[in-house]
Amino acid sequence: MSGQVDLFGNSVTGRSAVAAVDPGDEVRALAAQIPRGLRFGTSTWSFAGWQGIVYGGDYDETKLARDGLAAYAAHPLLRSVGVDRSFYAPLNDKTLQRMAAATSPDFRFLLKAHAALMLPKSARRPEYLEGVPDVFLDADYARRVVIEPALRRLGERLGVILFQFSPLGDPLLRYRQELLPRLESFLAALPREAKYAVEWRDRAMLGNDLADLLARQGVAHGFAAHPRLPPVTEQSPIEADADCPLVIRWLLAPGLGYEEARAAYAPFDRLIDPDRATRRQVAQLAHKALGQGRQTIVIINNKAEGSAPLSVAALAKEFVQSMSAADSPALQ
Q: Each residue of 250-301: pLDDT tens digit? A: 999 998 899 999 999 999 999 999 999 999 999 999 999 999 899 999 999 9
Q: Which CATH superfamily is domain 25-38+78-331 in?
A: Protein of unknown function UPF0759 (3.20.20.410)
The kind and range of the H/E element at 41 are strand 38-43
Task: Give the pLDDT mean for 1-8.
Answer: 37
Omega within 30 of 0 (cis) for the link into 267: yes
Cβ neighbours of 182 (radius 10 Å): 13
Cβ neighbours of 126 (radius 10 Å): 11
The structural domains of the chain, with segments of one domain joined by +, span: 25-38+78-331
Task: Return d(Cα 148, Cα 329) in angstroms, integer.
Answer: 37
The answer to whether 237 and 210 are in contact (CB under 8 A) is: no
Share of the chain above pLDDT 90, in %: 81
Spell out the alpha helix ranges (H) of 270-307: 276-291, 302-305
pLDDT at residue 327 greater than cutoff 50: yes
Task: Return d(Cα 123, Cα 69) in angstroms, integer.
Answer: 35
pLDDT in tens, 25-66: 999 999 999 999 999 999 999 999 999 999 999 999 999 999
Strand runs labelled E in 94-181: 108-112, 158-165
Pairing of strands 296-300, 158-165: unpaired
